[in-house]
Amino acid sequence: MKSLRAVIADDDGLTLMVLRKTLLGMGHQVVGESADGRQAVALVKTTQPDLVFLDIRMPDMDGLEAARQIQAQHPTPVIIVSAYTNPDWGASSGRGAHAYLVKPFTAAQIKPAIELALANFEKSAQLEQRLQQMNEALETRKLVDAPRAFSCARLDWMKRKPI
C-alpha cells in the first residue's frame, strides 16, 4: 500500500494519539488532526488528504455530517470510527462514509479498514461516473427524439379525417 496523507478527527485525545501513532507506523502521514467535525471539514479543504478518519460523535458537528460535507466539497475516502457497533453502518455509507471501525480497535484492524475504504471509494466514483454518463446519454436522446415526436404528432393530426 502506498503512503497516504490522512486527516484524523476525534474528540478523544487517546484515540487521536493511537490513530496517529498507528498511521505513522504504517508509513502514512497525518496532515491534520481535529477534535470536532467542523474543523475536520476545514482541514480536508485545506490539506486535501487521501483518507479521513472521523469519530461518529463529536462536538459542533458529528462525523456523518462532516463526511457528507467532505464528499460534497472534496470527495475523499472516509472511515467512520465509533465506540458503538452499528449493524446498519451501510446507512452511513450513503452519507459519505466508506468503512467503519469500532473502538477499541487494534493496529491490525486499521489496514483492512483503509483498504476497504479505498475500494469502496473507487467503486462509488465509478458508479457516479457511470450515472453521469447515463444522464448525459438520456439528455442527448431527449434532444434527438423531440423533433421526431413532434413530426409524428403532426403527421397523426394531418391523417385525421374531418367530421
Residue 78: predicted pLDDT: 96
Mean pLDDT of 48-74: 94
**What are the residues whose beta carbons fall under 8 Å from the beta carbon of 98, sequence distance 6 or more?**
77, 78, 79, 116, 117, 118, 120, 121, 124
Percent of the chain with pLDDT over 70: 77
- Residue range 4-40, pLDDT digits in tens: 999 999 999 999 999 999 999 999 999 999 999 999 9
For the sheet with 78-82, list strands across it: 29-34, 5-9, 51-55, 78-82, 99-102
Residue type, 77: P
Whose CA is closest to 44, among 59, 57, 28, 33?
33
**Local confidence band at 53 (pLDDT 50, 70, 90 cut-offs):** very high
> pTM of the predicted model, to two decimals?
0.77
Return the C-alpha cell found at 108.
491490525
